[in-house]
Structures are given as C-alpha cells and as structure tokens.
Amino acid sequence: MIGIRMPNLTRLLNASVVTVNNLADKEYDEDEYVPYAERPETYIVPILFFLILVVGVAGNGVLVLTLLRHSNMRSIPNTYILSLALGDLLVIVTCVPFTSILYTIESWPWGLAVCKLSEWAKDISIGVSVFTLTALAAERYYAIVNPIRRHVAGLSTKPLTLLTVTLIWLLATGLAMPAVLYSHLPTMPLKNNETICVCSPFPKEFGRSYEKGMVLFKFLMYYAIPLCIISGFYLGMARHLELSTRNMPGEQQAAPHQCEQIKARKKVGKMVICFVIIFFICFLPYHVFMLWFHFYPLSNDNYNDYWHAFRIVGFCLSFLNSCVNPIALYFVSGTFRKRFNEYLCCCLPSVRQATTTRGRFPRTRGEASTFYETSFNSTFRRHTQELNSTILLSYPSEAGKPT
C-alpha cells in the first residue's frame, strides 16, 4: 500500500483488496507521499494480526484436537464444525503471517509462489466456511423439521456427512483456482525512479472487465447466495417451531426425553446461527468496499480518509473471522470450554483434584474403604454429567428415541 495524501487518487496497493492496474502508469509527487512511520495502521494492523494468529491457532487447534481425540464427540454437526476449524487454520497459517506486514512495508517481499499460495488459501478458506455453514443450516433444518424421514432417507449418516465435507473442500479448491493461475507481482513506479512490487490476483492483460466480474462473482458465490439459502432454512425452521408450539398445548405432555432432545436441537441451532452471524458480519465491510471501489466510476476521486479506514476495518474483519468461532464456542458450549481449559489452561479444579487424588494412597483399611467409595462416586458423577451434556460435541438421537 502506498500512502497518498487525500483526496489525491488512492493509496491502496494491497492487491488482496483492490486492483493496481489503473494506477500502474502513474507517478506520485513527494509531497503527496505519507511515510509509513506516520500512519496509524502501521502499528495497529500488525498487532491485531499477531493476536489473530495466536488466538486462531490456539482456539482452532484445540477444537480440532478435541474432535479428533474424543470419539463420542464425532457427531454430524461437529464434523462440519471440524471442517470450519480446518479452513480457518489453513488461512491463519498460510495467509495471516504474510499479509500482516502489508501495512508496514512498501513492497511485497515474499515472491510469486507465496503470493499465489496466500491468495489461493484465502479463497479456499472463505469457500469452505460459507459452504460449510450452508450445509450446517440444511442439516439443522432437516433435524428439526422432519428428523424421522431424515433418518429413513439416510440423510443423517456420517458417511454422507463426510462425503458432503469432501465435496465442499473440492468445490472451494476449484473455485479458488483463478487465484493460483492469475495472481502475479506487478510493479508500480514512484518518484526518483523507484518502484514497488505488489501481489495482485487481477492480471493486467485481462482488463477491468475481469476485475469486476471476479468481484461480483465472489460477492454472489461467497456471500449473497449463501446468505439467502441459509436465511430460507432458518425461516423454515422458525415457522415449523411456531406451528409446533401452537399444536402442542403444553410441553409437559411430551415425553421427558423428547423435551430434552428438542432443547438440544434448539441449542445446536442457536450455535449455528451464531457462526452464521459472525461470518456475515465479518465479511460485510469487505464486500461493500470491493463493490464500491470496482463499480463506482468515481471511486478513485472520492476515496478519502473515511473509505480508507472502512477498507482497513473490512480487511481486518475478514481475517478476524478465522479466530472468533472458537471464542464463540467457548462461551456457548460448556463441553468445549471444559476441554479447552484442560488442554490449554490445565487449571480446572476437577483436574487438580483428580491429580491430587491419584497421588495420595490410603494408609488404613477404613481410610481405604472411604477413599475408594468417594473416588468411585466422584468418577461416576463426573461421567454421568459428561453423558448428559448436549451442547456441541453431544448429539441427541434424531429418531425420537432416548439416547
């Protein structure tokens, strides 16, 4: 990114956000140039990206470890959540470390291979996230609206879920291929015969039509269309729950296990809604800016401090989405919160108590009897609580039978 004093042209050269083709043949006066040391984003963005890297790797890493190590947590919704976490880890590891310095240095230093990899991983992660959220919404819809027919038709089997996740990754990888094929490193001249290099996904020889087409395609495929589909599924769920409430005079008439299953399904549905809202809020400023900059004829002339700040906010939020899902899950799911504390904090009272108990041996016969009875009761209660947990990582029977 070049710093040009507003409102002269634009100072955006981060090719992951805008194009540089219409600026490549221009030169900038020295009195228009803003040194990097005088820009607030030079200090704010790297710190924010460092936090995204640390929190994202820790949160998504623990989530992946939890779902892989504990077989009782490998439910159908959690398979999709595992796919979300892997997609977030992909963009955090392959993209965040390199793009975090785009606001602190003037020229792309990593070379063409890293440029292609960074753009490719970013598009794959966005595709995996939005397609997985759409599949989760569909799964929740059939789980709540018609769970019995869903089981009869085989729509709830884990092999079908794994096939769906695999197809999601293949589709996201295929749609991201233009980033690999066409990302390049154009140069831009400055004053005194100096040039800078940027990473751009838009080839200059394809012209402005290709840029507009790709921006519109990503907006529709990665944002607008999935949002409409997900909204349709949740509107259908809301209508079904409303009709069910009208037809059921009192929840006390239902069997206790059915009430528990209804509550569990609603809670998982709320968790999915939380993920959906986070995704679409995080990517809304990014798409708004891209559409405005590429389709508004006077965007170069009207680009000012407001749009510059708006662009940076959208840029940061699009990457922040990769680390907020585990945070949301930590507050929504007691089971995940417990596992997270066990793996990262190692400070749960139950863990300390278990460790202390394992290290103490009874000295007398009476003490041994009390010791083993207390130990058995404590272990039994703990496992009973784990089996009764229904938030994330515990999936109720959809056929209407008690688990």
CATH classification of the domain holding 74: 1.20.1070.10
The Cα 62–Cα 336 span in angstroms is 9
Side-chain half-sphere of 151: how many Cα atoms within 13 Å?
10
Q: Which residue type sits at 343? A: Y
Instruction: Establish if 16 belongs to a structural domain.
Output: no
**Which pLDDT does position 112 carry in this prediction?**
92
**Which pLDDT does position 246 carry in this prediction?**
60
Start-to-end CA distance of the chain, whole Å, equals: 57
Q: Which two three-digit tokens encode residue 313?
A: 């906010």
Give whole-number Cα distances, 143 to 25, 80, 250, in Å: 57, 14, 22
Return the bridge partners of 33, or none: 4
**Residues in contact with 356: Cβ distance below 8 Å, sequence separation at least 6, in sequence order:** none
Instruction: Establish if 1 belongs to a structural domain.
Output: no
**Which pLDDT does position 252 carry in this prediction?**
46
- To the nearest 10 degrees (0 to 180), the angle between helices 158-175 and 112-145 is 140
**Which pLDDT does position 218 carry in this prediction?**
95
The Cα 107–Cα 246 span in angstroms is 63
Instruction: Establish if 8 belongs to a structural domain.
Output: no
Instruction: Establish if 399 belongs to a structural domain.
Output: no
Which stretch of DSSP H or E encloses residue 196? strand 195-197
pTM for this structure? 0.75
Q: Which parts of the chain register pLDDT below 70?
A: 1-36, 147-156, 190-192, 242, 244-266, 345-403
If DSSP codes are grouped into helix, strand and coil, which group holds residue 33?
strand
Q: Are 127 and 167 in contact (CB under 8 A)?
A: no
Instruction: Establish if 328 belongs to a structural domain.
Output: yes
Instruction: Establish if 377 belongs to a structural domain.
Output: yes
Instruction: Establish if 6 belongs to a structural domain.
Output: no
The Cα 121–Cα 91 span in angstroms is 6
Instruction: Establish if 322 belongs to a structural domain.
Output: yes
Number of domains making up the chain: 1
* Closest listed residue to residue 107, CA positions, set 20, 211, 210: 20
**Residue where the block lists tokens 């997609």:** 87
The Cα 320–Cα 99 span in angstroms is 13
Domain coverage including residue 359: 21-388
The Cα 195–Cα 324 span in angstroms is 38
**Which pLDDT does position 45 carry in this prediction?**
87
**Which pLDDT does position 103 carry in this prediction?**
75
